[in-house]
Amino acid sequence: MPHAHRLDANQIERLQALGADFFRLSSFQELHSFRAALTGEYPVDRAFAFVLDAWTQQHQAGADSRFLPHLVLTEDLSAGMLGERPVIFMGTNYWAAKPYLSLEYCMDKVSQYARHLQRVREIYRNKKIVLAIIPEKDYIIDKHFLRSGRFQFVDEALSHLGRLCAASDVPLVFNEYVAPLREYEAEGDFSYFDTHLPGRHYTQIFARILETLGHRWQDIVQAFTMVENMSWGDLQRKFGYISTRLPLPMLLNLKTDSLTMDAGMPSFGQPLGATWQSIHNQSPLLPGKALVLGDSHSSILAQKRLTYLFAATFEKCLFYWNPGGLRQDPDPNDADYVLLQISLRFLL
């Protein structure tokens, strides 16, 4: 089946039309007719078809039964239910359509980033740098359970990026940790109403980041324990009345709190790109200073994701909301270690 090379204005217009038609559906018969009319020619059609097929496999009803579109997608098309698992659907960058674009498109996007990476490498020429591209929740679900193969071009492009990164002396951490987790996770583990990954994923990602920086997670793991995540998921409001207060996956936490934010913002800035924090560790597990340039998978200290893990490990941690250093070229810094972190969907 041919793959489009980009999402042009016509396809965006088609997406909007599909969304409008979808939210007029009122019966399962109309739903099945809508699904049958989707064409394999357009990435947006294929994205719709994939999420509808995943949902209808678990929700079967007679043709005349009432169908509520809000059970499948949010009206702004930003999120959807992959069966029983809430995930990002389109969002601001039309994520769900990206796996159906051509290999050439994916290769071009990673090559663009590799050129940017060369500039960042020059800024931090004497530092240890690692690039972490964090998989999306639906990517993990597909690799674990659905195994549709729809991320083939994405994976090929990321392998190519890994080679380009090696040429710039910047290790790439991406999906190497995913397969070993498969035997420990069930589909229900991803039914929580949040777009981010379970805490165990950030643990594995951080362990691999540490390894590229010359350290061993095994040497410091005893300083941490797992705690309940008391946050509200970022998809609770998106799904409104169908969302449930399922517990969010547990998070890593220092057994003895030793962290102090000594500068920056206590929470998220407005706009998000203004967010930054400087965190001091009174009892570091490893020597050195870390700079984190990332997005919500790193996040502020209170979110206990990658920024928290860096701050809990090293003497000092600076976090700037600057995914992969793409928002703006970063300034020189005296950090010993630099993490460039970006969500997969924003790389493509």
User: Residue 2's pLDDT is what?
Assistant: 58
DSSP-derived secondary structure for 48-111: HHHHHHHHHTT----TTSB--GGGTB-TTSSEEEETTEEEE-SGGGTGGGGGGB-HHHHHHHHH
Main-chain phi, psi angles of 174, to 5 degrees: -135, -95
Are the C-beta atoms of residues 306 and 297 closer than 8 Å to each other? yes
pTM of the model: 0.95
How many CA within 13 A on the CB side of residue 131?
Answer: 28
Q: Which of 120, 200, 123 is nearest to 165 (CA)?
A: 120
Side-chain half-sphere of 299: how many Cα atoms within 13 Å?
15
Q: What is the pLDDT of residue 43?
A: 95
| Residue 332 region by backbone torsions, left for phi larger than 0, else alpha for psi between -120 and 50, else beta | beta
**75 Cβ partners below 8 Å, 6+ apart?**
19, 23, 69
Are 328 and 284 a contacting pair, CB within 8 Å?
Answer: no
CA 313 – CA 253 distance, rounded (Å): 11
The residue whose two tokens read 């999306």 is 136
Asked whether 223 and 174 are in contact (CB, 8 A), the reply is: no
How many CA atoms are closer than 13 Å to the CA of 336, on its beta-carbon side?
A: 12
Do residues 284 and 315 make contact, with C-beta atoms less than 8 angstroms apart? yes
| Burial (CB count within 10 angstroms: exposed 0-12, middle 13-18, buried 19+), residue 64 | exposed
Tens place of pLDDT for every residue, the chain, 348 residues? 557 777 889 999 999 999 999 999 999 999 999 999 999 889 999 999 999 999 999 998 888 999 999 999 999 999 999 999 999 999 989 999 999 999 999 999 999 999 999 999 999 999 999 999 999 999 999 999 999 999 999 999 999 999 999 999 999 999 999 999 999 999 999 999 999 999 999 999 999 999 999 999 999 999 999 999 988 889 988 887 666 677 899 999 999 999 999 999 999 999 999 999 999 999 999 999 999 999 999 999 999 999 999 999 999 999 999 999 999 889 999 999 999 999 999 999
Contacts of 69 (CB under 8 A, 6+ apart): 22, 23, 25, 75
Cis ω on the peptide bond leading into residue 271 (within 30° of 0)? yes
Task: Provide the 3-class DSSP secondary structure of residue 145.
Answer: helix
* Residue 271: CB atoms within 10 Å: 8
Pair 286, 314: CB distance under 8 Å: yes
Assign residue 62 a region (left: φ > 0; alpha: ψ between -120 and 50; beta: otherwise): beta
- Report pLDDT for 237: 84
Q: What's the number of CA atoms in the CB half-sphere (13 Å) around residue 244? A: 7
